[in-house]
Amino acid sequence: MSALEAVDLVRTYRLDGVSVDALRGVTLTVEPGEFAAILGPSGSGKSTLMHLLGCLDRPTSGVLRVGGVEVAGLSDAELAELRNRTIGFVFQSFHLLARTSALENVALPLVYRGVPRAERLARARAALESVGLGHRLDHRPSQMSGGEQQRVAIARALVGEPEVLLADEPTGNLDTRNGSEVMRILTSLNEERGVAVVLVTHEPEIAAHARRQIHVRDGLIEADTRS
């Protein structure tokens, strides 16, 4: 069973009364444990594709399956549950709660699952330790560097033990050293834990960490290669 499967995905937006085709019929499959990078220039449709694969948006037409489950017939609540259980997200802008400790930030996805507090804090602590932040449990985002904040975001994505981790420009706000550390962690998670990683980037050197490169342009896949 595929981790993610998209068949002829189309996403059309209405902007000022004009239809804009962000995706024009994309078909791809991401297998369990795969590491894929989605590349393309600004406006190519790569972020739209990421949002659809992560069930953050719904396609205008086409079929999307997450862990074998077709999402079209799911209610918003069912879609949120599937997303929470199956997918972890890492974004360029971290999206951490400013007045909340690293530990509580990482534990947050488990609140929505109804995990008891003691268990979710234990799991959050383990996730932070796995990204080298066991010494930063009680620090708030403002007390951490950008690289540390992104590692907190990765720990938050991992705490629910997702099958797929979606990373949208995860190194975009980081310097070279911190960006390299984030990519080292993502590669390790993929190789050692078998988490499927799908990475959106416009930087070829970042995409080179992935074993598969999917090039998107004008809402279509123009190349799909494996190294």
- H-type alpha helices, 31-166: 46-53, 76-86, 102-111, 117-130, 146-158
From the list 25, 26, 49, 19, the residue with the least C-alpha distance to 37 is: 49
Can you say whether the dihedral through the CA atoms of 114, 116, 121, 123 is positive or negative? negative
Tokens of 203: 């930087």
One-letter amino acid of 158: L
pLDDT score, position 126 = 96
What is the mean pLDDT of the segment spanning 73-88?
A: 91
Q: Give residue-wise pLDDT tens across range 95-144.
A: 999 999 999 999 999 998 889 999 999 999 999 999 999 999 999 999 99
pLDDT score, position 1 = 87
Q: Give residue-wise pLDDT tens across range 2-57.
A: 999 999 999 999 888 899 999 999 999 999 999 999 999 888 999 999 999 999 99
Q: Which domains does the chain have, with CATH numbers?
A: 4-96+146-226 (3.40.50.300)
Q: Give residue-wise pLDDT tens across range 143-163.
A: 999 999 999 999 999 999 999
